[in-house]
């Protein structure tokens, strides 16, 4: 088995990302706990992965619990519950959590680890494609507040992240495809070669070939690790990772977080951002079409709400807003993106109204 190691350095801290097929069974030396004791927190849907990992930790586990992992459960109450269980078991500052699950689980457990006893170590074992390529990497942890998503949180880097693409084998087709959008986003903003490679691999990735998935995830992880190392607190370059998210967040909210998966909303957000990128950042028609074609082949995705009346108030809540417009990430060419600070709201709304993915491909990938 080939195992890759990617180090993400932030000041004194190092987050090490391990990637390999079948790594779950061989995670023993890769999960880190200063005391040697672990607290395992996972979700029901991640059970097949947890069952593969548990024997590795067996004798050093002081806690082994399952939590709910719907977005509605990503709350301070859930963090409090994890803290209760850990404190009841006598958790100490030199123990470490292991979070097994999608982004909801890793965000929650990472945040619990950040605040429990003023910070204990944690490790992430992502079981979704979005988690492997994005959510588990980069130290952002947190929960939702009734006034908005991810409003409470902390930067707390996992000591180790174990990425085994076979953990995604049980994902629904819809979750799998929507997670791929975030992986492609990573290569589009930063690496033209990786993007071309991913396009070639797309048929294999779509048919759930784990080696092909691992190649794309590995490129996305390296790109994210590189960006986060140079800008851990998102004051500059890290903002590029928000490609497709200005409208993506609004589309997601407009559907009440039920109609569209995050990655699906981001796919539509990217499609709209491509139009603005053509107008403002010199993106060629050809390259915009290439990105749209990949998105179409990852779909079909449910249609977003496009109405300006619905989207306007959601856009105006965006954290990236200034007086004259909204910041967004534009693609100059495949592999190179930039942040544009003040794109007028009207341009976003027009792009949202007209965001399209090639219809022929949408139909071909879903004959019904």
Ligand X SMILES: NC(=O)c1ccc[n+]([C@@H]2O[C@H](COP(=O)([O-])OP(=O)(O)OC[C@H]3O[C@@H](n4cnc5c(N)ncnc54)[C@H](O)[C@@H]3O)[C@@H](O)[C@H]2O)c1
Q: Positive or negative CA dihedral for 91, 97, 99, 105?
A: positive
45: contact with ligand X by CB under 6 A: yes
49: contact with ligand X by CB under 6 A: yes
177: contact with ligand X by CB under 6 A: no
135: contact with ligand X by CB under 6 A: yes
For 289-304, b/e burial (b = at least 16 CB within 10 A) is ebbbbbbbbbbbbeeb
**Least distance from ligand X to the Cβ atom of residue 286, Å:** 30
Contact 306, 352 (CB under 8 A): yes
223: contact with ligand X by CB under 6 A: no
Stretch that binds ligand X, among 42-50, 82-90, 266-274, 292-300 (CB under 6 A): 42-50
Stretch that binds ligand X, among 19-27, 171-179, 271-279, 336-344 (CB under 6 A): 171-179
User: Interface residues for ligand X in 70-99 (CB under 6 A)?
Assistant: 71, 74
Query: Residue 179 or 269: which CB sits closer to ligand X?
Result: 179
Query: Residue 140 or 159: which CB sits closer to ligand X?
Result: 140
Query: Residue 30 or 245: which CB sits closer to ligand X?
Result: 245
Cα 172 to chain centroid, rounded:
17
Compute how many other C-beta atoms are within 10 angstroms of the C-beta atom of residue 147. 7
Which of 31, 86, 131, 217 binds ligand X (CB under 6 A)? It is 131
Q: 198: which residues sit within 8 A by CB, 6+ positions away?
A: 183, 184, 187, 205, 215, 216, 219, 294
According to DSSP, the residues that pair with 126 across neighbouring strands are 101
Side-by-side strand order, sheet with 336-343: 321-322, 325-333, 336-343
Which of 26, 60, 75, 150 binds ligand X (CB under 6 A)? It is 150
d(CA 323, CA 15): 37
Q: 306: which residues sit within 8 A by CB, 6+ positions away?
A: 352, 353, 355
46: contact with ligand X by CB under 6 A: yes
103: contact with ligand X by CB under 6 A: yes
**Least distance from ligand X to the Cβ atom of residue 35, Å:** 25
42: contact with ligand X by CB under 6 A: no
195: contact with ligand X by CB under 6 A: no
**Least distance from ligand X to the Cβ atom of residue 333, Å:** 25
**Least distance from ligand X to the Cβ atom of residue 244, Å:** 12
> Given phi > 0 = left and psi -120 to 50 = alpha, else beta, which region is 256?
left
228: contact with ligand X by CB under 6 A: no
**Least distance from ligand X to the Cβ atom of residue 282, Å:** 29
End-to-end CA distance of the chain: 40
140: contact with ligand X by CB under 6 A: yes
Which tokens belong to 191? Answer: 């690496």
Stretch that binds ligand X, among 18-26, 34-42, 66-74, 302-310 (CB under 6 A): 66-74
Stretch that binds ligand X, among 12-20, 81-89, 167-175, 247-255 (CB under 6 A): 167-175
Contact 270, 319 (CB under 8 A): no
246: contact with ligand X by CB under 6 A: no
Query: Residue 172 or 316: which CB sits closer to ligand X?
Result: 172
User: Interface residues for ligand X in 248-267 (CB under 6 A)?
Assistant: 262
Stretch that binds ligand X, among 53-61, 90-98, 162-170, 320-328 (CB under 6 A): 162-170
For residue 164, CA distances in Å to 63, 121, 134, 182, 212 come to 23, 21, 14, 17, 12
**Least distance from ligand X to the Cβ atom of residue 302, Å:** 16
CA-nearest of 100, 135, 109 to 23 is: 100
Q: Where are the beta strands (DSSP E) in 233-357?
A: 321-322, 325-333, 336-343
For 150-169, b/e burial (b = at least 16 CB within 10 A) is eebbebbbbbbbbbbbbbbe
Q: For binding to ligand X (CB under 6 A), which residues are involved?
A: 43, 45-46, 49, 69, 71, 74, 101-104, 107, 127-128, 130-131, 134-135, 138, 140, 149-150, 167-168, 170-171, 175, 179, 262
């Amino acid at each position: 088995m080939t195992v890759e190691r990617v180090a993400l350095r932030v000041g004194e801290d190092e987050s090490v990302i391990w990637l390999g097929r079948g790594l779950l069974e061989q995670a023993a030396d890769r999960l880190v706990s200063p005391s040697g004791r672990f607290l395992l927190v996972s979700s029901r849907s991640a059970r097949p992965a947890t069952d593969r990992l548990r024997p590795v930790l067996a004798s050093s586990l002081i806690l082994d619990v399952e939590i709910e992992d719907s977005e509605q459960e990503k709350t301070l109450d859930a963090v409090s519950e994890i803290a209760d269980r850990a404190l009841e078991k006598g958790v100490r500052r030199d123990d470490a959590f292991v979070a097994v699950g999608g982004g909801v689980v890793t965000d929650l457990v990472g945040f619990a680890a950040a605040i429990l006893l003023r910070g204990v170590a944690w490790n992430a074992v992502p079981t979704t494609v979005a988690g492997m390529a994005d959510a588990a990497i980069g130290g952002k942890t947190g929960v939702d507040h009734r006034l908005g998503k991810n409003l409470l949180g902390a930067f707390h880097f996992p000591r180790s992240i174990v990425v085994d693409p076979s953990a995604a084998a049980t994902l629904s087709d819809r979750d799998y495809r929507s997670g791929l959008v975030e992986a492609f986003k990573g290569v589009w903003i930063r690496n033209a070669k990786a993007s071309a490679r991913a396009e070639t691999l797309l048929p294999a990735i779509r048919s759930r070939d784990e080696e092909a998935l691992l190649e794309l995830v590995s490129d996305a992880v390296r790109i994210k690790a590189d960006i986060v190392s140079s800008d851990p607190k998102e004051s500059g370059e890290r903002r590029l990772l928000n490609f497709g998210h200005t409208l993506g967040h609004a589309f997601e909210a407009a559907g009440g977080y039920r109609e569209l998966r995050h990655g699906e909303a981001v796919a539509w957000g990217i499609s709209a951002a491509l139009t603005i990128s053509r107008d403002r950042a010199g993106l060629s028609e050809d390259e915009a079409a290439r990105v749209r074609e990949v998105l179409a082949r990852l779909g079909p995705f449910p249609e977003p709400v496009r109405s300006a009346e619905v989207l306007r108030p959601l856009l105006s809540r965006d954290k990236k807003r200034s007086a004259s417009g909204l910041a967004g990430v534009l693609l100059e060419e495949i592999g190179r993106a930039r942040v544009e600070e003040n794109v007028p709201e009207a341009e976003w709304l027009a792009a949202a109204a007209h965001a399209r993915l090639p219809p022929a491909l949408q139909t071909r990938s879903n004959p019904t």
